[in-house]
Amino acid sequence: MPSGTLQEREADGRTERRRHSHDRAVDAVLDLIQAGMPTPTAQQIADRSGISIRTVFRLTDDIESLHAAAVQRQSERTAALYVSLPTGGSTAERIRALVENRATIFETIAPVRRVGEQLARRSARIAEGLERQHTVLRHQVARLFEPELSRLRGASARDALNAADVAASWETWEQLRRRKGLSVPEATRVVRRLLEGVFGSPDLDPPST
């Protein structure tokens, strides 16, 4: 027989239904943002999630919390994109692998990341999540180009890492794509050139004409 009193079981059932509705609302918010709606309405969330507008209003009393949950859900959905890149091969090969992976990541996360950047100004939870992502990407650059960085000393090594980190960052990609209006292939070429400037090496491909 089920354990607990009738009241306890009913309370557990309400909690589970609320959690399920919240998850559906969060998924709907995330899907709508990715579809180009950075501030979806309650009606749009209801239509997308299949839950009632009344339930959405109850869940969106704290809209920032709902958006924060959507940003977190985005991290879960895209975790598989943050792959371990091979540390062997030439400098040029590693640059190419990094830039191709970053292009895939940044194009996938772009709509939600833009919303996250706005919310981070007043949400410590979201700001911390974005900072964790930056730390992961910086460590990837340091690991991938450890042979090149190890040949440098002191400030030169720090400068090279900082330059490479910035060149391969979301902020640089966003500037190239949104402010400069470059296509994905064009932005990819520019980031490659920036990294080639940091890790100049005879094994790099000559500039294309």
- Give the per-residue pLDDT at 61: 62
What is the C-alpha to C-alpha distance for residues 23 and 25, in angstroms, rounded to an integer? 5
- Encode pLDDT of 154-177 as tens digits: 999 999 999 999 999 999 999 999
- Of the candidates 52, 2, 24, which has an alpha carbon nearest to the alpha carbon of residue 10? 2
Dmax (CA) for the chain in angstroms is 77
- The token pair that represents 40 in the structure block: 């979806």
3-state SS assignment for residue 208: coil
Q: What is the mean pLDDT of residues 31-49?
A: 83
- Encode pLDDT of 46-96 as tens digits: 888 888 888 877 776 666 677 777 777 777 778 788 888 989 999 999 999
Name the DSSP class of 168: T
Taking the whole predicted model, whether its pTM rises above 0.85 is answered as no
